[in-house]
Amino acid sequence: MKKLLSLMLLLMAAVMTTATFTSCGDDDDDNKTASVAGTYTGKDMLSFSVMGMDLKQPNTADVNYVINQNNDGSISVVIPEETFDFTAQKMGNIVQGSFSVTNIPYDKTKNAYYLDYSNNASADVFVYGAKKNYTITKGEITVSFSGNKVTVVNVHKFGNMPMEMTGTFVGTRK
């Protein structure tokens, strides 16, 4: 009888132990794109430093950033054509044409989607009265989400331009 009681207690302890332990493994669902894909409307701020001047200007109208989900868990972002009015600084309008940044993976250390896309994209840019297609020689994009809002920070440099620019878009899902 003592043996049966001991065996029952041991079995109950084993069941209780396995029922109360939870996994410590990293098996969380990292596919965050299912709830973030969509069209986001908002303003973009373009900032850069050139010839000793720190310049910062919002785009002239609300724009739509489109975020698509990919089957591998990454996202793609379509950056729309945008106009920034720098006439007060004697530069005129800077019009950045639309371009896409694709396959942006989720980076757990940044708690955001991040990609260095240098030399893997190009865009038409209208500046100082001339339009030209530029390779994006430096491109780093960080995309983070909070509820129905997105923040896209895009540090980029067009061709041989002397400065890198930072575009910071904050938008709300339509």
Distance, CA of 42 to CA of 170 (rounded, Å): 6
Q: Among 42, 25, 122, which Cα is nearest to 82's?
A: 42
Q: Among 141, 143, 154, 151, which Cα is nearest to 172's?
A: 151
Distance, CA of 100 to CA of 67 (rounded, Å): 10
Asked if the model's pLDDT at residue 172 lies above 60, the reply is yes
CB under 8 Å to 85, separation ≥6 — which residues? Answer: 57, 60, 93
Q: Among 146, 150, 145, which Cα is nearest to 42's?
A: 150
- pLDDT over 70 for what percent of the chain? 80
pLDDT in tens, 34-72: 479 999 999 999 999 988 889 999 988 999 999 999 999
Residue type, 136: I
For each of the domains in the chain, give its residue range(s) and CATH number, in order of start: 30-173 (2.40.128)
DSSP class per residue in 48-109: EEETTEEEEEEBSS-EEEEEEE-TTS-EEEEEPPEEEEEGGGT-EEEEEPPEEEEEE-EETT
pLDDT in tens, 17-41: 444 444 444 444 444 434 799 999 9
pLDDT in tens, 118-164: 999 999 998 877 899 999 999 999 999 999 999 999 999 999 988 99
User: Global pTM?
Assistant: 0.78
